[in-house]
Chain A
Amino acid sequence: MKKYLSFFRIRFTYGLTYRAAALAGIVTQFAWGALEILMFKAFYDYNRASFPMDFSALTSYIWLQQALLALYMVWFFELELFDLIVSGNVAYELCRPISLYNMWFTRNMATRLSKAVLRAFPILIVAVLLPEPYGLSLPKDTKAAFWFLISLMLAFLVVIAFCMIVYIICFYTISSLGVRLLTSAISELLTGAVIPLPFFPEKLGKVVSYLPFASMQNLPLRIYGGDILGSEIYKGILLQVFWCAALVLTGKWMLSHALHKVTVQGG
C-alpha cells in the first residue's frame, strides 16, 4: 500500500506544477459552462413544462461538471501510457515488483485529482457567487450532500476502471488512435456530457441509465441538485458499486490475458 501512496504523491505533485495551464483552463471552462447554461435557459424559457429537471438542478449540474471535468471526462486519457504500450517500453514497467494494474490505476487517480484540485475550487467559488438562477446552489440537505460525496468517489473509480480497459485494449490493437476516438465519442454522449441524461428520449434514457456510463458523472451531479431522490439514490449507488467491481475485474482479467500473449517488439 505504501508504495502506491508514494507513487500517488509523485504523480500528484507532478500534476500540480502546471499552474499556468490550469488558469487558462479555468477561464475556458467558465466560459463554456456559462454558454451552456444560457442555451438551456433559452429552452427553459420557451417551454417550462417539458423541462425534465429543475433549472437550479441543471445549473448545479453544469457547474459541477465544468469544475470536475478532469475527474470525469473519459477522454482525459494519459497518452504516455498508450506510448508505453505501443513502443514496447511497457516491458520496463513489467520489471517492477508491483502489479501493473494497480500502479496504472493509482497513476490515473493522481493525475486526474491533481488537475481537478487546481481547477475545481476557483470555478466552484465563482459559480456559488453568481446570482440565482445561474449560480451553483448548495445541496438540498445533508443527506443529499452525504450521498453526493459517496457517489462522487465511486464515479471516479468507475471512470478510471473504464479507462484502464481502454488502455489494455491497446495491447491487442497496437495503434491507440482508433480505440481512443471511438470510446471518447461514445462515452461523451452516454455519460451525459453532451446533454444531461434526463434530456434523452424516455426509452433510450432508461436503457442508458443502466450502462456503466450512467454510473459516472451522471449520478453524483444529479444527486447534488436533488434530481435523484430517495430510494433511487440507493439503487444508483448499488449500480455504481456493481460496475466498479465488474470493470476492475474485467480489466484485471484482460490485462493478465494480454500479458500472457504480449510480444514486446524489440529494439
Chain B
Amino acid sequence: MRLYLKYFTIQLKSAMEYKTSFILTTIGQFLVSFNGFLGILFMFQRFHEIKGFRFSEILLCFSIVLMQFSLAECFARGFDGFASLLSNGSFDRIMVRPRNVILQVLGTRIELTRLGRMVQAIFMFVYGIAKSQVSWNVPRILAVIFMILGGTAVFFGLFLIYAALCFFTLEGLEFMNVLTDGAREFGKYPISIYGNKVLLFCTFLVPYALIQYYPLLYILGKSDKSFYLVLPLIACLFLIPCFHLWKFGIRHYKSTGS
C-alpha cells in the first residue's frame, strides 16, 4: 500500500507539471460523458418515464455507475496500456522486481483526468437524491456505499481480464470495450429495460445487475427484499476468476524479447 501511495504521488506530480493540459483533458472527459446526460435528458423530455423509472431515478442509477467506472478507471488504467508493456518488454523488468506484479502495473499509469467524469457523476448524484424522494435510512445508505465499492471491484476485474488476455494475444482486444465502456454507456439505464435475456447475462455471467439493478430497486423502494442490499458485495467475488485468469496468463507468459 505504501508503495502504491508512492506511485500515486509520482503520477500526481507528473500530471501537475502540465497543468493546462491536465485541466483541458479533465474538461474534455467531463464533456464527453456530459453527452450521455444530455441524451437521457432529451429522451425524458419526450417520454417522461421508462419501465416505471423516472428521470431522477435514472440519474441516480447513471451517476452511481459512472462513479464506479471512473474510480476503477482512474486506478486501473495501467491495464489499458498493458499491451504495450508486454510488446516493448517492460513487463520483464516488472517481473524481476520483488514486489507484487499487479501493483506495479497499476502504478505505471494513474489517470487523474478521469475524475472529470467523477465530478459530473457527483453533480447528477446530488440532483438525483434531491429529486427522487428516497426516504433514506441506514440500510439504503449502506446499499449506495456497497454499490460503489462492488461496482469499482467489478470494473477493476474487467480491466484485469483485459490485461490478462493480452498475455495470449499480445494486443488489446477491442471486444472487451463492450464489457467496460459499453457497460458504462448502457448502464445509465437500469439493466431490466434491455429485456430478460440481457438481465440474465448480467446477473450470472458478468455481475452488472448485482451492482446496479437489484440494489437500485432496493434503494428506490421498488422492492423490499433486503438481501438485494448485499448483492454488490457478492459481486466482488467476480474478482476471483479474474485474478485466476491473470495468474494463468502470467504462467503462460513468454517474453517478446525486445
Interface residues of A (CB under 8 A from B): 21, 24-25, 27-28, 31-32, 35-36, 38-39, 41-43, 46-47, 50, 52, 175, 177-178, 181-182, 184-186, 188-189, 194-195, 199-201
Contacts and interface: CB of A to CB of B under 8 A. Distances in A.
Contact of B43 (A178, A185, A195): A195
A194 B38 contact: yes
B46 A50 contact: yes
Given A39-B186, A47-B47, A199-B42, A177 B178 contact: no
A39 B35 contact: no
Interface in B175-198: 175, 177-178, 182, 186, 189, 193-195, 198
B21 A32 contact: no
B171 to A, nearest CB: 8
Q: Which of B25, B34, B174 neighbours the largest number of chain A CB atoms within 10 Å of its CB?
A: B174
B interface: dominant SS:
helix
Interface residues of B, number: 33
Contacts of B51: 42, 46
A89 B27 CA distance: 29
B73 to A, nearest CB: 16
Contact of A181 (B32, B46, B175, B195): B32
Given A185-B34, A189-B35, A199-B42, A27 B175 contact: yes
A242 to B, nearest CB: 26
Contact of A46 (B36, B47, B195): B47
A38 B32 contact: no
B32 A188 contact: yes
B9 to A, nearest CB: 24
16 contacts: A28-B175, A31-B178, A32-B182, A35-B186, A35-B194, A38-B193, A42-B50, A43-B50, A46-B50, A50-B47, A177-B24, A177-B25, A185-B31, A189-B35, A189-B38, A194-B39
Contacts of A189: 35, 38-39
Contacts, number: 93
Given A24-B173, A25-B174, A199 B43 contact: yes
A46 B36 CA distance: 21
B133 interface: no
A131 to B, nearest CB: 14
A200 B35 CA distance: 12
Contact of A200 (B27, B42, B177, B195): B42
Contacts of A36: 186
Interface in B1-51: 21, 24-25, 27-29, 31-32, 34-36, 38-39, 42-43, 45-47, 49-51
Given A21-B174, A175-B21, A181-B28, A38 B198 contact: yes
Contacts of A175: 21
